Amino acid sequence: MMKYSVVIVDDHTLLSQAIAAMVNTFNKFKVLYTCKNGQELVDKFSSSPEFIPDVVLMDINMPIMNGIETTEWISKNHNEVHVMALSVEDEDATILKMLKVGAIGYLLKDTEKVVLEKALVEIAENGFYHTKNVTNLLMKSLSGNGETEIKFKEREITFMKHACSELTYKEIAEIMCLSPKTIDGYRDVLFTKLHVKNRVGLVMYAIKNKIYTP
């Protein structure tokens, strides 16, 4: 069975190794390598395509290049890579910063093993993962100014509703009888219109504006 590849970025070596060992026990995942900071990850990504994983588990506070800076770099240069924050930081401001620069999930390091595995599966297969606390935080942070004035095409609204489900983008394309490339186009246009960087932001907008009701 083909496994999703994971990279762990954390400046605490023993903890990083422990997380890697845990992830390697998950049926659908394997760890490619670990990095001590964001700059090491950037260097790896730049050296060879084989070092680019499906998912990055990202710490926040690191020397040289921290998690927020690194996530922003990945979003700009490798937006096909899913970043999930895994940190001891539980401040609302820090969580929001990570999500706004492109992280598609946020977990604390005291998270149970089963929750981490579930989060990785949802990220790899559906493109996003968010806990109830993160959802509530995002809802509070979204400004309502001018949002109702944004105009959407009918198919953009249809796509947005499907994106709020657990369907993959490929499955959405099949349901809408469109090519995956066209679906990617709808996604990118909506990201630009809504000033969001990932599926989590899109879902939060749809819920807040009652385009989708959970």
Residue 61 DSSP one-character state: S
pLDDT per position as a tens digit, 13-22: 888 999 999 9
pLDDT per position as a tens digit, 60-119: 999 899 999 999 999 889 988 999 998 888 777 888 888 888 888 888 888 888 989 988
Query: What per-residue confidence (pLDDT) applies to 10?
Result: 94
For residue 107, the cross-strand partners are 86
Query: What per-residue confidence (pLDDT) applies to 143?
Result: 52
Cα dihedral sign, 56-60-64-69: positive
At 171, list the tokens.
């499955």
Residues 6+ apart with CB under 8 A from 141: 96
Residues 136 and 102: their CA atoms lie apart, in Å, by: 18
Answer yes or no: are the C-beta atoms of 203 and 163 closer than 8 Å: yes
pLDDT, average across residues 25-48? 94
At 151, list the tokens.
């105009």
Instruction: Concatenate the DSSP letters of all residues of 91-119 into one string.
Output: -HHHHHHHHHTT-SEEEETT--HHHHHHH
Global pTM value: 0.70
